[in-house]
């Protein structure tokens, strides 16, 4: 399934089971920030997942969708989530 096949409309960005507290804003069409995090995909380790989240968060910050503080909250939630581990 591709991004947004089943839109994630939770009110905040949740990574694994960790709530970042950042509003889950709409991006393109029906897609949200949560849809682009891809925390339910299979990853070759936590580092690979963290690299992906870092890229997504940096792009969203650059485009003015999130603030620097929100970027930090998303990265912290991703780090605590354990996504990609074992």
* pLDDT per residue as tens digits for the range 72-83: 999 999 999 999
pLDDT tens for 29-46 read 789 999 999 999 999 999
**38 within a domain of the structure (yes/no):** yes
Residue 10: helix, strand or coil by DSSP?
coil
Report the C-alpha gap between 66 and 63 in whole angstroms: 8
Alpha-carbon gap, residue 16 to 67, rounded angstroms: 22
Q: How many domains does the chain have?
A: 1
Largest CA distance in the chain: 34
Checking if the pLDDT of 13 tops 90, the result is yes
Structural domain including 33 reads 12-81
Q: Whole-angstrom Cα distance, residue 76 to residue 78? A: 5
pLDDT value at position 30?
83
For 10, 22, 85, the CA distances from 4, given in Å and listed in that order, are: 13, 19, 24
| Position 39 in a domain | yes
């Amino acid at each position: 399934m591709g991004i947004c096949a089943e839109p994630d409309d939770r009110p905040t960005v949740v990574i694994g089971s960790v709530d970042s507290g950042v509003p889950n804003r709409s991006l393109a069409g029906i897609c949200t920030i949560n849809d682009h995090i891809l925390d339910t995909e299979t990853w070759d380790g936590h580092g690979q997942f963290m690299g992906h989240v870092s890229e997504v968060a940096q792009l969203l910050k650059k485009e003015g969708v999130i603030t620097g503080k929100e970027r930090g909250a998303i990265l912290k939630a991703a780090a605590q989530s354990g996504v990609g581990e074992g």
